């Protein structure tokens, strides 16, 4: 397990960004949607693929088996979404799909440690990190909605800086893989390994769904995978800095997110 350094790269900018074997890209607004390498298949076919994958893999197939299935089913049309709490999912996927696109939602509000993890992933792993930016910069958002929207209406802030940018980015893929785990929160206990994403109308794959945090950290240690240092500093769930607080031992891992609000999800997994 490797702890990522703190980033010195300004949030939301790829200028001077470190570039590894496959590099790092920036996508903003309408440009966030990639051009698929082949015509995207229709919704009915994608639904059928999701059903077939769920039947083949069951509820607890090994992560590597899930990724191998995805590599066969979606050649050149799979993206990985990563919050950069750790790089376990990109590591697992890149072992079978070198150069895979790893989407990072660059909100402009991330911890420096999260930016550092993103930079280290781009430098050292066989992936293409894609910084997906909102249409509005923070300054533009402040001008339109007032300063610190996250402190008044975090759901709208998440919608502008996470949900909408991700939707645009995913429009160029047939499937996306996430690091969602069933033990993350009560809202995630029934997370399948493979399913059809009714929001984005593509296949959603959760290779690590059955993993515990201990299993994830053990994998990271065994394989020398980059981990965000905040995980060891009282932040079991890491989001944007203004909306993330430390969690006391024994508390719900996501209780530090949006403290004071009746909100437990940013919206990208709803």
Q: Is residue 13 part of a domain?
A: no
- Digit-coded pLDDT (tens) for 112-161: 999 999 999 999 999 999 999 999 999 999 999 999 999 999 999 999 99
Which of 61, 177, 230, 266 is labelled catalytic? 266
Residue 111 dihedral angles phi and psi, to the nearest 5° = -60, 150
Q: Is residue 235 part of a domain?
A: yes
Q: Is residue 43 part of a domain?
A: yes
Q: Is residue 89 part of a domain?
A: yes
Q: Is residue 169 part of a domain?
A: yes
Which residues make up each annotated binding site?
157-158, 240, 243
Q: Is residue 257 part of a domain?
A: no
Q: Is residue 8 part of a domain?
A: no
**With bands split at pLDDT 50, 70 and 90, how would you rate the model's confidence at 78?**
very high
Contact in structure between 106 and 169 (CB atoms under 8 Å): no
Total domains present in the chain: 1
Residue 214: which H helix or E strand, with range?
Answer: helix 213-223
Which residues make up each annotated binding site for [4Fe-4S] cluster?
157-158, 240, 243
User: Is 266 part of the annotated catalytic residue set?
Assistant: yes
Mean pLDDT for the chain overall? 86
- Digit-coded pLDDT (tens) for 165-222: 999 999 999 999 999 999 877 878 989 999 999 999 999 999 999 999 899 999 999 9
Q: Is residue 54 part of a domain?
A: yes
Q: What is the CATH number of the domain that holds 175?
A: 3.40.50.620
pTM value > 0.75: yes
Q: Is 60 exposed, middle or buried (0-12, 13-18, 19+ CB in 10 A)?
A: exposed
Domain range for 24 is 19-29+37-243
């Amino acid at each position: 397990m490797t702890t990522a350094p703190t980033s010195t790269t300004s949030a939301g900018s790829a200028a001077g960004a470190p570039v590894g074997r496959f590099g790092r890209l920036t996508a903003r607004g309408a440009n966030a949607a990639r051009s698929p390498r082949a015509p995207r298949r229709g919704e009915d076919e994608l639904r059928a693929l999701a059903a077939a994958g769920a039947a083949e893999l069951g509820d607890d197939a090994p992560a590597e088996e899930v990724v191998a299935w995805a590599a066969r089913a979606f050649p050149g049309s799979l993206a990985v979404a990563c919050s950069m709490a750790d790089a376990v999912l990109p590591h697992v996927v890149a072992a079978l799909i070198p150069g895979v696109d790893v989407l990072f939602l660059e909100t402009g509000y991330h911890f420096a440690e999260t930016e550092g993890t993103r930079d280290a992933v781009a430098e050292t792993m066989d992936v293409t990190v894609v910084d997906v930016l909102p249409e509005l910069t923070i300054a533009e958002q402040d001008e339109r909605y007032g300063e610190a929207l996250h402190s008044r209406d975090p759901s709208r802030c998440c919608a502008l800086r996470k949900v909408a940018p991700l939707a645009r980015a995913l429009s160029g893929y047939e499937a996306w893989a996430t690091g969602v785990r069933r033990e993350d929160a009560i809202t995630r206990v029934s997370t399948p390994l493979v399913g059809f994403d009714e929001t984005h109308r593509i296949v959603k794959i959760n290779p690590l769904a059955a993993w515990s945090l201990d299993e994830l950290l053990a994998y990271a240690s065994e394989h020398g995978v980059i981990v965000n240092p905040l995980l060891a500093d009282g932040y079991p769930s890491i989001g944007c800095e203004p909306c993330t607080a430390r969690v006391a031992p024994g508390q719900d891992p996501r209780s530090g997110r949006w403290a004071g609000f009746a909100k437990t999800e940013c919206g990208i997994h709803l």
